A and B are shown apart, each in its own frame.
Chain A
Amino acid sequence: MTDAPVLTLDRVSRRYGGVTAVDQVSLQVARGEFFSLLGPSGCGKTTLLRLIAGFDNPEPDGGEIRLLGEVVNGRRPYQRPIGMVFQNYALFPHLTVAGNVAFGLEERRVPRSEIASRVTHVLELVRLDPALYANRRPTELSGGQRQRVALARALVLQPPVLLLDEPLGALDLQLRKEMQLELRQLNRTLGITFILVTHDQEEALVMSDRVAVMSGGKVIQVGTPAGIYDHPRTAFIAGFIGQANRFHGRVTAFADRVATVEQAANISWRVETSSAMAIGTSLEIAVRPEWHDLVRDGAAPPDCNAIPGTVREVIFLGDSSHVVVALTDGAIVRVAVRSAGLDSHADSWRVGEHVVVTWPVGSAQVLEQ
């Protein structure tokens, strides 16, 4: 990471009429990184990608975009060191697969002999047999094959940065998982920086080195998938990436970096905090379902919180089960129970049974309010 960043966004904004679609976004992406812009639809992630590409209006409404150290504000897309894979692939229907892939090379006046070999090479790279597919039209291809052609068309120009706008959105689940791994592989072997836009949190977690979570035109958290999963900054992120149980109450005591919080009349728990908490402060934490444990009697391990409740539902998920527990104040907690082996799923937990939900005092993330 001693390299200069490939992409730097410095307080970049885009406004449409009175709406601010991208609001003062600052980011840095390192060379070769697989970086994802993640968020629900309308969060501004696609607009941000289009700003990086230089579409609509190559001049942002504020801020500075630097690619490979150069300010590219006002430069047209073809004057930027980028390639792009579009959501609907945007393959030219009147050209063959080879014609589509050769398009950019022809526009860049690459000699004919070189074009042929580069097209063949890149088709092999994306695992399309040139002998079989080079002369087909896009309409004669499946969704997955079109995806590969779109990828080949962008990669053949060897752009330092490849922008991908929801590239897997139209594929079925099986193919999507396959392509996720393949994209990751291409990113590693080619050394090209990938910037991916997606609304699918699983996709972002599987593929990315780092993820920027967006909401309302702003980047609200940037980090590695594991970092964001373990330390979501806000309730929105905790709920958007993975599942989270949220606990909320007022601080009644603070000692040794551990706050004691009262949630309801007979429900209280402890949490480690980095900063001192004044008595009476409102506090919210997120706990992942797999950080919880379930016990039948009150014998919780030491340094663990223990809250009694009633089993409402047992949801079988294959590798684990989620036991849904209602606490006495009505709050719902999902507890992940891993299968311990053959025929030992969580079916020992019965609906209506009285249980105790536990979690280590250190296994919780304090959320920003």
Chain B
Amino acid sequence: MTSRRHRLLALLHRLPLARSAALLSPAGTWLVVFFAVPLAIMATYALRPRHLLGGVYPGWTTTHVARLLEPLYLVVLARSVVLSLIATIIALAVSYPMALTIVRATRWRPLLLFLVVLPFWTSFLVRTYATIFLLRDTGLVNQLLLRVGLIHQPLHLLYTPGAVIFGLVTGFVPFMVLPIYASLEKLDPSLLEAAEVLGASRWRRFRRVTWPLSLPGVAAGSLLVFVPALGSFLTSDLLGGAKVQLIGNLIENQFTSARNWPFGSALSFLLLVVVLAGMLLRLRFASRSVSA
């Protein structure tokens, strides 16, 4: 029995392909059962006639795919991409200085990292509701501004694109901070010293050494914010109301109140294509930066 097992292991050792296949099989099975198969089901649903009570009829049609090109839906998609991009850029602008501070604060580093992760201790839903309490007409922000005397009438902050962006940024900032922190933490301090001896000022050292070497972290963080932001529906639903419909809300609608499963599937595929395009962009980004 054991000798047989040994022989099997020896075989696995000799064949790198077989060995990696064995190592990958748990993840591979998981991906096939919970990703590839549902994706295939969704693809076929997108091409079937709609059942008015939800679900589909047998047969094939391209009407749902064709509907994707209607301006109404393209506007929603464009709005989603733009909002997600703005949220990603703001999250990057907020997170980069945070990550730099954490890396430089050697003594407080564990505490600061803990604080970055702390929001995850509360459900995303609860956090989003808390944001409503902050932003609504009688919310904390308006009360504070009124009290100080900066404004005389409450600002309408809630149910605007700005509120949605604010919600996305606050929700996803940790996903941006952590990868950037990881890449900055790997940065060898003697590289900055070398740059300094070679005549680079503080700003030039950042431009020519720190920033390019942190690009993999920036790319990973941007992807981790952009992709979930693009598919989000909770934030836009609660903070944007009916005025700021994103593609996530549209898809959710098709599967729930509109009961148009095939069109929902088609929209989901559209989202997938946009996300894949983003990934390809990241790959080009990554290949341009360091491989070390």
Contacts and interface: CB of A to CB of B under 8 A. Distances in A.
23 contacts: A55-B193, A77-B196, A78-B198, A78-B201, A84-B197, A86-B193, A87-B190, A88-B188, A88-B190, A90-B193, A91-B194, A92-B209, A93-B213, A93-B290, A94-B212, A94-B289, A94-B292, A104-B198, A107-B198, A107-B204, A108-B199, A137-B291, A153-B198
A364 to B, nearest CB: 45
A153 B191 CA distance: 13
Interface of B: 188, 190-191, 193-201, 204, 208-209, 212-213, 289-292
A135 interface: no
A189 B236 CA distance: 71
Q: Which 3 A-B pairs have the closest CB atoms?
A: A104-B198, A107-B199, A90-B194
Interface of A: 53, 55, 76-78, 82-84, 86-88, 90-94, 103-104, 107-108, 137-139, 153-154, 157
Given A78-B197, A104-B198, A107-B198, A90 B188 contact: yes
A122 B198 CA distance: 15
B190 to A, nearest CB: 4
Contacts of A91: 194
Nearest to B204: A107
A103 B205 CA distance: 11
Given A77-B193, A84-B194, A88-B190, A94 B199 contact: no
Given A107-B204, A137-B292, A139-B292, A90 B198 contact: no
Contacts of B204: 107
B159 to A, nearest CB: 45
A97 B193 CA distance: 18
A136 to B, nearest CB: 12
Contacts of B196: 55, 76-78
Contacts of A83: 197
B213 A94 contact: yes
A83 B289 CA distance: 28
Nearest to B289: A94
Given A87-B190, A153-B194, 18 more contacts: A55-B196, A77-B196, A78-B200, A78-B201, A86-B190, A88-B190, A90-B188, A90-B190, A90-B191, A90-B194, A91-B194, A92-B191, A94-B212, A94-B290, A107-B200, A108-B199, A138-B292, A154-B197
Given A55-B193, A86-B193, A107-B204, A93 B292 contact: yes
Contacts of A137: 291-292
Contacts of B188: 88, 90
Contacts of A92: 191, 194-195, 208-209
A85 to B, nearest CB: 9
Contacts of A104: 197-199
A43 B188 CA distance: 24
A91 B188 CA distance: 10
A86 B194 contact: yes
A104 B196 CA distance: 9
A107 B209 CA distance: 13
A325 B43 CA distance: 90
Given A93-B213, A137-B292, A78 B199 contact: yes
Contacts of B199: 78, 104, 107-108, 157
Kindly name the residue among B190, B199, B213, B289 whose own CB sees the greatest number of chain A CB atoms within 10 A. Answer: B199
Nearest to B290: A94
A55 B193 CA distance: 8
Nearest to A163: B197
Contacts of B212: 94
A139 B291 contact: yes
A114 B209 CA distance: 23
Nearest to A83: B197
Contact of B198 (A55, A138, A139, A157): A157
A53 B194 CA distance: 11
Given A94-B212, A139-B291, A103 B195 contact: yes
Given A93-B290, A94-B213, A139-B291, A103 B193 contact: no
Contacts of B290: 93-94
Nearest to B194: A90
Nearest to A84: B197
Nearest to B187: A93
A90 B290 CA distance: 15
A88 B194 CA distance: 11
A235 B204 CA distance: 49
Contacts of B201: 78
B188 to A, nearest CB: 7
Contacts of A154: 197
Contacts of B193: 55, 77, 84, 86, 90
Contacts of B194: 84, 86, 90-92, 153
B218 to A, nearest CB: 13
Nearest to B193: A55
Given A88-B190, A94-B212, A77 B197 contact: yes
A104 B289 CA distance: 21
